Amino acid sequence: MQSSHKNKSWFSPFRNWYFVLLIAFVTWMVFFDGNDVSTQLRLKNKLVDLENEKIELREKIEQNTSALSALREDKEKFAREKYYMKKDDEDVFIIDKK
């Protein structure tokens, strides 16, 4: 009799319908639902990647804004330094500092 009592002791929680429904609900939410754990982790990683990309793009915007303001202030200097443009009667010498 004692051996059958041991076998039934582990099965006793499953006789409670609330416990069975709780296990079924947790299993459904973890593995089968549209908002399961793996989907949430994947979306969180994507969010982190997008936030990092957002930071990089804001830095590029700041750099381009400063370059644009420099261009608006002195167009001739910008054209000479960036694109090596010159007037007809000038010579341009490029010194490479490598």
Note whether 29 and 9 are same-domain residues.
Answer: yes
d(CA 59, CA 63): 6
What is the pLDDT, as a whole number, of residue 1?
46
CA 8 to each of CA 12, 18, 65: distance values in angstroms, whole numbers, following the listed order: 6, 18, 74
Q: Which domain holds residue 63?
A: 39-98
Q: Looking at the structure, do residues 13 and 51 belong to the same domain, yes or no? A: no
Same domain, 62 and 43: yes
> How crowded is the C-beta side of 65, counted as CA atoms within 13 Å?
6
Q: How deeply is 52 buried, as exposed, middle or buried, from its count of CB atoms within 10 A (0-12, 13-18, 19+)? A: exposed
Same domain, 44 and 11: no
Do 50 and 29 have their domain in common?
A: no
pLDDT at 6: 53
Residues 49 and 28 in one domain: no
The 10s digit of each residue's pLDDT in 3-37 is 555 556 666 766 788 888 998 988 888 888 888 88
| Positive/negative CA dihedral, 85, 88, 90, 92 | positive
* Residues 21 and 54 occupy one common structural domain: no
**Tens of pLDDT, residues 36-85:** 888 889 999 999 999 999 999 999 999 999 988 888 888 888 777 777 77
Q: Which residue in the block uniquely carries the two structure tokens 């754990």?
A: 37
Is this model's pTM higher than 0.85 or not?
Answer: no
Do 19 and 43 lie in one domain? The reply is no
Question: Total structural domains in the chain?
Answer: 2
